[in-house]
Amino acid sequence: MTHEKLMKKPELTQEEANAALRLAIRQTESCLGEFSQQFKSIFSEGGFYSPAPNEQWTNGFWTGELWLAYENSGDDRFREAAAKQIDSFLTRIETGNRTDTHDLGFLYSLSCVAGYKLTGNQTARKAALLAADRLKSRFHQKGRFIQAWGSLENRNNYRLIIDCLLNLPLLYWATEETGLPEYADVARAHLETALSVIIRPDYSTYHTYYFDPDTGIPLRGVTHQGYSADSAWARGQSWGVYGLALSYRYTKDPKYLEDFKHVTDYFISHLPENLIPYWDFIFEEGSEEPWDSSASAIAICGILEMCKYLPEAEAAPYLAAAKRMMKALVDLCAVTSPEISNGQLLHGVYGKKTPYNDCIDHGIDECNLWGDYYYVEALTRMTKDWNPYW
């Protein structure tokens, strides 16, 4: 999609953004009964989530959605439901229940940092700092990166993934909160390593990158959920967009700003006519492959965050793109009634098996928790000056 073509598309108006946000809050409200004591499953099936325990990488997104609903409505029922979930996050980090992962930022920024920022909840602060400690402990000195998944001793796990950029704000926050520089130092070191390997010459990105456990030397880029090692997984690219914006927010390092522009330009210029990306950018206009609406929601949040720091003239084309992408999400993907779905954003993809990746088919053309969360965050950003939970 060229910039010229993009500019011919309609943008989401302020009234439309307000109306979409009101609808989204009603959707969250309709889930309060079933999902206050329990969490939601990772993705919907036939449009509907089931109740699930707090043991996946996605649980923070639902709590984050509750905090957004509280902030946007002032309705205490959302605050009470989110606050109740804080205890579960403390137990999870204290008992180490499936915390052998870099996903601690997704989990704890949106649940506990958010709860602490919005209500001063001290249990939330404690849980988030414990999570930051755990995340920091996954840093490998030799390779200078935070390991994505699994045991740190297993040599086959010696790799980083682009998604981790969204987990770095938990570390920046921990430094701000405690005054101890080591959290942010790890975040910066990881980011430097990631950026040195993960962005290709055409500014598409690798999903994951392996290193040699003996020497720390970068070995090869591969994919887990993208189409193939060399393709551009749409969600991976969007993690790059938003991750760079968030690291820029904390560091103001001009290099991150330049990288942000490159990966974002790649994302926008590879959108199809309807402005909803296919799940991998290898697919072109007219493909029958499913979309990944969540990738668009994530990228919009990243663009809106970075536009706060760009001079007006530089921000303008990015802002215009974000408003047009948002219009497409609202028109083509938003859930409009609890009878259709108990989520927010239709047409996401969690993973789709190909001969060249190692994921399984799941959550295809469904809602997923991060798509829901980022959609509501994006609407929030479009309707007020929002203080991020990140």
Q: Which of 76, 103, 230, 292 is catalytic?
A: 103
The nearest distance, CB 42 to ligand GLY, in angstroms, is 9
Q: Which is nearer to ligand GLY, 72 or 111 (CB)?
A: 111
Could you give the C-alpha distances from 226 to 193, 231, 232, 268, 338, in angstroms and in order? 21, 7, 7, 18, 31
The nearest distance, CB 350 to ligand GLY, in angstroms, is 6
DSSP string, 136-153: HTTEETTTTEE--BS-TT
The Cα–Cα gap between 236 and 18 comes to: 29
Q: Is position 230 annotated as part of the catalytic site?
A: no
Which are the contacts of 61, defined by CB distance < 8 A and separation ≥ 6?
106, 110, 369, 370, 372, 373
How many residues of this chain bind ligand GLY (CB under 6 A)? 4
Q: Which residue has the tokens 């001793």?
A: 153
Phi first, then psi, for residue 122 (nearest 5°) are -75, -30
Q: Which is nearer to ligand GLY, 25 or 221 (CB)?
A: 221
Binding mask 339-368 for ligand GLY (x = CB under 6 A): -----------x------------------
348 annotated ligand-binding residue: no
Which are the contacts of 153, defined by CB distance < 8 A and separation ≥ 6?
none
The nearest distance, CB 345 to ligand GLY, in angstroms, is 14
Q: Which is nearer to ligand GLY, 57 or 67 (CB)?
A: 57
The Cα–Cα gap between 119 and 29 comes to: 20
Beta bridge partner(s), residue 139? 146
235 annotated ligand-binding residue: yes
Q: Which is nearer to ligand GLY, 11 or 372 (CB)?
A: 372
The nearest distance, CB 235 to ligand GLY, in angstroms, is 5
220 annotated ligand-binding residue: no
Phi first, then psi, for residue 284 (nearest 5°) are -115, 170
Instruction: Quickly count: other Cβ atoms within 10 Å of residue 67's Cβ.
Output: 27
SS3 assignment, position 40: strand
233 annotated ligand-binding residue: no
Q: Is position 103 annotated as part of the catalytic site?
A: yes
Nearest residue to the partner ligand GLY, using Cβ: 163
In sign, the C-alpha dihedral spanning 45, 47, 53, 59 is positive
Q: Which of 87, 163, 185, 361 is catalytic?
A: 163
Out of 9, 117, 190, 235, the residue judged to bind ligand GLY by CB under 6 A = 235
Binding to ligand GLY in span 159-218, by CB under 6 A: 163
The nearest distance, CB 226 to ligand GLY, in angstroms, is 10
Residues annotated within the binding site for substrate are 103, 163, 221, 223, 235, 239
Residues that bind ligand GLY (CB under 6 A): 163, 225, 235, 350
Give catalytic residue positions: 103, 163
Residues annotated within the binding site are 103, 163, 221, 223, 235, 239
